[in-house]
């Protein structure tokens, strides 16, 4: 089946720093989402981005579908950015969603 790998697994940042999170996937997909799981366990939609680039405030994401990867950029990080960031993909024509293992981010004040 399709493999979804996220890196790095853990990341510690000083408040104000920038970071890039990566998601590699092993097969063609037509659905890719980035989620933030906050310390309360809620899964928050960040981006629906099967291809191209999107920006939302301090966050932006780029997916290069032909090369099977996606990047999530966090600029000027804040302590509220702490949590786990998941990449989730779905194969073309299917409904089954595969989640990566996540990147655990801790932003220090």
Partner 1 sequence: DAGVIQSPRHEVTEMGQEVTLRCKPISGHNSLFWYRQTMMRGLELLIYFNNNVPIDDSGMPEDRFSAKMPNASFSTLKIQPSEPRDSAVYFCASSRTGGSNQPQHFGDGTRLSIL
CB of 29 to partner 1, least distance (A): 8
d(CA 72, CA 2): 20
Nearer to partner 1 by C-beta: 61 or 77?
61
- Map residues 39-58 to x or -, x wherever contact with partner 1 holds by CB under 8 A: --xxx-x--x-x--------
In the numeric block, which tokens belong to residue 54?
Answer: 């999107």
Q: Which residues, in sequence order, are CB contacts of 71 under 8 Å at separation 6+?
A: 20, 21, 22, 23, 61, 62, 63
**Cα–Cα distance between 106 and 10 in angstroms, integer?**
8
Phi, psi of 51 (to 5 degrees): -165, 160
Choice from 28, 30, 55, 80 touching partner 1 (CB under 8 A): 30
> Among residues 18, 92, 106, 108, which is the contact residue for partner 1, using CB under 8 A?
92
Binding of partner 1 by 104 (CB under 8 A): no
Residues that bind partner 1 (CB under 8 A): 30-31, 33, 35, 41-43, 45, 48, 50, 86, 88, 90-99, 101-102
């Amino acid at each position: 089946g399709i493999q979804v790998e996220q890196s790095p697994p853990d990341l510690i940042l000083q408040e104000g720093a920038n970071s890039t999170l990566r998601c590699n996937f092993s097969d063609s997909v037509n659905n890719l989402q980035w989620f933030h799981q906050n310390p309360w366990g809620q899964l928050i939609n960040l981006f629906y981005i099967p291809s191209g680039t999107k920006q939302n405030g301090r966050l932006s994401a780029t997916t290069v579908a032909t090369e099977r990867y996606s990047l999530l950029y966090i600029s000027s990080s804040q302590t509220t950015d702490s949590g786990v960031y998941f990449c989730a993909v779905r194969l073309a024509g299917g409904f089954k969603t595969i989640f990566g293992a996540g990147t655990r981010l801790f932003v220090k004040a």
